[in-house]
Amino acid sequence: MQWHRSARRWASNSRKGRHPLIGAPHNPSKEIAMNKPEWLEEKDDGTHIKLAKAIDIDGVAIATLVMREPTVDDQLSATKSKGDDAEREITLFANLCEVSPAEIRKLSLRDYKRVQRAFVDFTD
């Protein structure tokens, strides 16, 4: 009998958009927004990515990259570009951040992961 009540509660919570086990409101996109790191900020001109280590672009130290929202055309262009998947990703990120692929390659791995995270947020 106990299992039956649990199953009924689970089904009821799921239909109401609540977490099936604890009954709390469950909204994955809201959770992602709440868990957004402090180095990532959405603004009107795109997502601002604060770098852990500034990079030098044309003699200027850049501590923040701005990634604009990708379009379908951006995705198609990256798919058609030369190189392996990693090279295509670098080309796509460079295009979206309006810097050269060489500048994206200068990023530390930590900062490159931040750029990847910013891109993933656009695909939710």
Strands 60-67 and 46-57: antiparallel
Q: What are 43-58's pLDDT values in tens digits?
A: 999 999 999 999 999 9
Confidence bin at 35 (pLDDT 50/70/90): confident
Decide which of 90 and 31 is more confident: 90
pLDDT of residue 9: 54
Name the range with the highest mean pLDDT among 13-22, 77-86, 89-98: 89-98
Using the predicted structure, report yes or no on whether residue 17 has a pLDDT greater than 70: no
How far apart are the C-alpha atoms of 84 and 87, rounded to whole Å? 5
Q: What is the pLDDT of residue 53?
A: 96
- H/E element holding 72? helix 72-80
